[in-house]
């Protein structure tokens, strides 16, 4: 933690490890501030969010934003924006929520409706129309210093790092450090995560951080191997074998000798190939080309990726994957979504500058995006995560009529996406919605049958199941699974027939 950041928080810090926080998810006037965070503790008086420094004579406590990174907490400059007054919002931590009251002229929107006051709990957003979007979350006040990831590769705040990894959330930094550890270990590693979450990008970063970085990274999707030629693709073959006219091939293992072999969708690899692959993964790296009597040896480090649970892999193959990296989906790192939007728009600008030039904000590669679009994306239920987000942005680019990438036609039109707030049964807010959430409708703990049905419906995705059940996180679901002795692997394999359309209201 920087000295100035530590001093700024010392007066309001408590002994708790984490606190309710507001993250800047969008700013019309200062887009470079996306990802900054303000922490809230129980003070005797509210804090004021607005322009700083405050006017003469105003001694109210001010909301301070910080750039948080592992081992760092850097305070930032006062908020700016033509529509934000010096005392725009009053924010106070009471109970489990942030009680927010609008005091300035900028309209405040909570769950799509204008409000004078509301209570924000983790997962809520507050939009100051045309000015600022805030995301409420719970976060540790300090992130542990990096142990393995080189700080010199971190890049500027909010930008992709040297390996193309995006995010400033605690989950993003934890993934970077774990990938760097895996890279230095040189052990075979299994990379887990949902489709489209960025497993291949993490694999490339792991290779680039390893001692094998100067050697080739050979990547292949196991689902694309031609039937009957998997052995030849992996291990190579001599000329004219197994079929006349076939050229000699070194195979993926031979091509990756001294480097890294990345097999995506490893779960699609035929089980008949496992025995030969296991020989390569053992210490001596032995394998044979088809049609060749002599054994060969290759110094290969395997990175295998899958969107299946580890239990779906053959136990002998799983036993050789010493390390595991889990790449979280967007629903587990929601505060990073605006940063992915920035990154994907910049990439679109590099690939197709003529198509998105009209949205350019400046010459630094930033583009104008509406706060409503970002708010919709924060609450959207993603299926293929970053890949889906990229497609959504291209559709918004195609449909936006002016110079701002907007949400044309409303959230229901944008590829038919489902808003998590509506899916979870959240009621629309009243004009003076100042009752704490724990005083509103609250459901009891889900039953065993409800948990089993929801996990099966969500195809084993515990993050989505925990949200559908109205739980605070997937860790709460883990505790219930242990309590009720529920076999998740059995549900994923289809040994439970759930009632379709299950969703538990919060």
Q: Could you read off the pLDDT of 327-366 as tens digits, one per residue?
A: 999 999 999 999 999 999 999 999 999 999 999 987 777 8
Burial of 391 (C-beta count, 10 Å sphere; 0-12/13-18/19+): middle
> pLDDT band at 419, cuts 50/70/90?
low
Q: Give the residue-averaged pLDDT of 449-471.
A: 80
> Which tokens belong to 62?
């001010």
- CB atoms < 10 A from the CB of 401, how many? 7
Residues 14-43, mean pLDDT to the nearest whole number:
88
pLDDT tens-digit map of 206-248: 999 999 999 999 999 999 998 888 989 999 988 988 788 888 8
Question: How far apart, in whole angstroms, are the C-alpha atoms of residue 133 and residue 131?
Answer: 7
pLDDT single digits (tens) 148-201: 999 999 999 999 999 999 999 999 999 999 999 999 999 999 999 999 999 999
**pLDDT score of 246:** 82
Long-range interactions of 454-458: CB distance < 8 A, separation 24+: 454/498, 454/502, 454/503, 454/504, 455/486, 455/488, 455/491, 455/492, 455/496, 456/491, 456/492, 456/494, 456/496, 456/497, 456/498, 457/498, 457/500, 457/501, 457/502
Assess whether pLDDT exceeds 70 at residue 119.
yes
More confident residue, 394 or 455: 394
338 to 69, 226, 305, 475, 489: CA distances (angstroms):
17, 39, 26, 25, 34
Cβ–Cβ under 8 Å, residues 30 and 67: no
CA distances from 197 to 104, 206, 425 (A): 40, 16, 27
Whether 445 shows a pLDDT value over 90: the answer reads no
- DSSP bridge pairs for 324: 190
Confidence band (pLDDT; 50, 70, 90) for 480? confident
Q: What percent of the chain has pLDDT over 70?
A: 83
pLDDT, average across residues 275-300: 88
């Amino acid at each position: 933690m920087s000295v100035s950041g530590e001093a700024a928080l010392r007066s309001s810090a408590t002994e708790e490890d984490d606190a309710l926080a507001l993250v800047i998810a969008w700013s019309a006037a200062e887009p470079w501030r996306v990802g900054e965070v303000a922490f809230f503790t129980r003070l005797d008086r509210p804090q004021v969010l607005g322009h700083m420094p405050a006017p003469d004579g105003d001694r109210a406590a001010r909301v301070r934003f910080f750039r948080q990174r592992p081992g760092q907490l850097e305070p930032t400059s006062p908020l700016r924006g033509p529509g934000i007054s010096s005392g725009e919002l009053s924010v106070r931590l009471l109970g489990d929520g942030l009680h927010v009251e609008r005091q300035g002229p900028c309209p405040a929107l909570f769950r799509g409706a204008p409000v004078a006051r509301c209570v924000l709990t983790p997962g809520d957003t507050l939009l100051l129309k045309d000015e600022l979007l805030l995301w409420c979350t719970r976060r540790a006040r300090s992130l542990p210093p990096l142990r393995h990831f080189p700080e010199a590769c971190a890049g500027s705040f909010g930008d992709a790092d040297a390996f193309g990894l995006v995010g400033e959330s605690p989950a993003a930094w934890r993934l970077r450090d774990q990938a760097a550890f895996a890279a230095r270990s040189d052990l075979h590693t299994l990379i887990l995560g949902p489709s489209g979450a960025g497993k291949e990008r993490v694999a490339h970063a792991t290779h680039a951080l390893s001692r094998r970085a100067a050697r080739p990274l050979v990547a292949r999707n196991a689902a694309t191997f031609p039937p009957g030629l998997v052995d030849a693709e992996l291990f190579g073959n001599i000329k004219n074998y197994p079929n006349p006219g076939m050229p000699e091939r070194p195979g993926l293992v031979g091509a990756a000798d001294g480097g890294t072999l990345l097999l995506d969708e490893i779960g699609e690899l035929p089980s008949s190939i496992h025995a030969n692959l296991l020989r390569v993964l053992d210490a001596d790296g032995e394998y044979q080309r088809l049609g060749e009597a002599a054994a060969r040896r290759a110094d290969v480090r395997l990175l295998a990726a899958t969107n299946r649970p580890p239990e779906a892999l053959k136990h002998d193959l799983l036993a050789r994957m010493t390390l595991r990296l889990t790449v979280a989906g967007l629903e587990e790192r929601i505060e990073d979504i605006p940063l992915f939007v920035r990154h994907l728009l910049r990439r679109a600008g590099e690939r197709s500058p003529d198509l998105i030039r009209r949205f350019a904000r400046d010459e630094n590669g930033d583009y104008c995006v509406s706060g409503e679009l970002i708010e919709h994306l924060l609450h959207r239920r993603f299926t293929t995560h970053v890949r889906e987000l990229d497609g959504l942005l291209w559709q918004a680019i195609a449909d936006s009529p002016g110079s701002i990438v907007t949400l044309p036609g409303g959230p229901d039109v944008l590829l038919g996406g489902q808003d998590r707030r509506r899916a979870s049964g959240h009621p629309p807010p009243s004009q003076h919605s100042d009752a704490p959430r724990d005083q509103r409708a609250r459901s009891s703990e889900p039953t065993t049958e409800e948990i089993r049905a929801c996990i099966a419906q969500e195809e084993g995705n515990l993050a989505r199941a925990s949200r559908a059940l109205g739980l605070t996180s997937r860790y709460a679901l883990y505790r219930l699974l242990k309590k009720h002795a529920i076999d998740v692997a059995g549900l994923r394999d289809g040994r439970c027939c759930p009632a379709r359309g299950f969703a538990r209201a919060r």
